[in-house]
């Protein structure tokens, strides 16, 4: 009746033209994956790992090959193909040149060099989310359209509900009706409550209602979606700071996290777009979505370096379980484990 509907939404209420059911891939979500974290990460990073494994191994194929400038250039090419960025690739090349100059290629040294450089560059990241001292922990999720915000919210909600936490979602991307429907379907599926407003309504008022509802029902976490398509940076800035203001009035120190979702497959252009969101939103951490299925998982290195924010989670698929807290050691191990091992 009111502007905001609380509680689960009956999918039958959804107008056909607004309900992209395909936006929530049922098949992917249905298959439970009781695998360990390292195995899941390895599966998600398989394509990037393959570039490092097969392509680097190919460099060693010629028996007794010496480490000369040709070899080093080929190595650089392979590294750059993973999107780890020219600086990291150069550092590895310099290190390998120093350690192996004019000697026969030693795969272990190359592997060790890649591992050391990646770990060094990913080390300043910290996992874990800030939480509220009392009242619900409020998490805003921001980023470019299509980067994976809504899906990441579903994944976070799943993570919390798995832990027995009560979650309220705020459908703050009021710009697109489909976005609200998509989040509603996830809420339904995950057993989380959702607070929505009509299309085009003020996102800050949706955020306010969502956080107020979370306080009212004693929820542990309130996750608020935001629109990814805004005309100008000042527009974006205004909207996000308004959201911050209204939630801060309800819960001290809220928002406790502002997560910037970045699409790992989207290339340099998407990274510079995402920068606008970082600056406008006062982000506290990154969710690097869509690392799976991409051979460019090395992009986590320039993302970490360019944004100066910790990568808190990585997205490894379209399902609700395909989110992992980011841990540099595990990430690098997943990428390099078994690399250069004899074939077969």
Pick one of 5, 116, 131, 145: the residue that binds ligand GDP (CB under 6 A): 145
Pick one of 82, 142, 151, 184: the residue that binds ligand GDP (CB under 6 A): 151
Pick one of 142, 150, 152, 265: the residue that binds Mg ion (CB under 5 A): 150
Residue 151 interacts with Mg ion (CB under 5 A)? no
User: Are 109 and 100 a contacting pair, CB within 8 Å?
Assistant: yes
Pick one of 9, 42, 149, 208: the residue that binds ligand GDP (CB under 6 A): 149
In the structure encoding, which two tokens stand for residue 116, read together?
């050391």
* Binding residues for Mg ion, total number by CB under 5 A: 3
Residues 166-205 as x/- pattern, contact with Mg ion by CB under 5 A: -------------x--------------------------
CA torsion, points 152, 158, 161, 165, in degrees to nearest 10?
-20
Residue 228 interacts with ligand GDP (CB under 6 A)? yes
**Which residues face 257 on adjacent strands?**
139
Helical residues (DSSP H) of the chain, grouped into ranges: 26-30, 37-44, 46-50, 56-59, 69-81, 86-100, 107-122, 149-162, 177-190, 203-216, 233-250, 267-281, 300-307, 328-336
What is the distance, to the nearest Å, from the Cα of residue 176 to the centroid of all Cα atoms in its chain? 22
Residue 149 interacts with Mg ion (CB under 5 A)? yes
Pick one of 20, 107, 130, 146: the residue that binds ligand GDP (CB under 6 A): 146
Interacting partner of 318 out of Mg ion, ligand GDP, none (Cβ under 5 to 8 A depending on kind): ligand GDP
Closest C-alpha to 270, from 251, 256, 254, 290: 290
Residue 130 interacts with ligand GDP (CB under 6 A)? no
User: Are 286 and 312 a contacting pair, CB within 8 Å?
Assistant: yes
In the structure encoding, which two tokens stand for residue 308, read together?
């100066």
Could you list the residues that contact Mg ion (CB under 5 A)?
149-150, 179
Binding site for ligand GDP (CB under 6 A): 143, 145-151, 182, 228, 261, 289-290, 292-293, 315-318, 322
């Amino acid at each position: 009746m009111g502007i905001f509907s609380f509680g689960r939404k009956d999918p039958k209420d959804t107008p056909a033209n607004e309900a992209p059911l395909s936006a929530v891939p049922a098949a992917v979500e249905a298959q439970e994956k009781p695998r360990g974290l390292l195995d899941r990460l390895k599966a998600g990073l398989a394509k990037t790992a393959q570039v490092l494994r097969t392509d680097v191994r190919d460099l060693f194929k010629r028996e007794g090959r010496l480490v000369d400038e040709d070899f080093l250039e080929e190595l650089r090419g392979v590294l750059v193909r993973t999107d780890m960025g020219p600086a990291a690739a150069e550092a590895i090349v310099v290190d390998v040149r120093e350690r192996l100059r004019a000697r026969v290629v030693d795969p272990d040294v190359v592997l060790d060099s890649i591992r050391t450089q990646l770990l060094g560059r990913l080390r300043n990241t910290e996992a874990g989310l800030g939480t509220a001292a009392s009242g619900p922990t409020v998490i805003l999720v921001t980023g470019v359209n299509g980067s994976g915000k809504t899906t990441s919210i579903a994944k976070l909600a799943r993570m919390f509900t798995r832990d027995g936490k009560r979650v309220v979602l705020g459908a703050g991307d009021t710009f697109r009706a489909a976005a609200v429907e998509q989040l509603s379907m996830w809420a339904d599926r995950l057993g989380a409550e959702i607070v929505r407003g009509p299309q085009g309504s003020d996102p800050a008022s949706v955020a306010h209602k969502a956080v107020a509802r979370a306080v009212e029902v004693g929820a542990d976490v309130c996750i608020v979606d935001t629109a990814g398509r805004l005309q100008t940076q000042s527009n974006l800035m205004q909207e996000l700071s308004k959201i911050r203001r209204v939630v801060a009035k309800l819960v001290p120190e809220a928002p406790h996290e502002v997560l910037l979702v970045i699409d790992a497959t989207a290339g340099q252009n998407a990274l510079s777009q995402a920068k606008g969101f970082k600056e406008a939103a006062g982000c506290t951490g990154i969710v690097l979505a869509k690392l799976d299925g991409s051979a460019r998982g090395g992009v986590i290195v320039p993302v970490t370096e360019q944004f100066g924010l910790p990568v808190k989670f990585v997205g490894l698929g379209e399902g609700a379980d395909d989110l992992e807290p980011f841990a540099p050691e595990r990430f690098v191990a997943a990428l390099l484990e078994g690399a250069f091992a004899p074939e077969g």
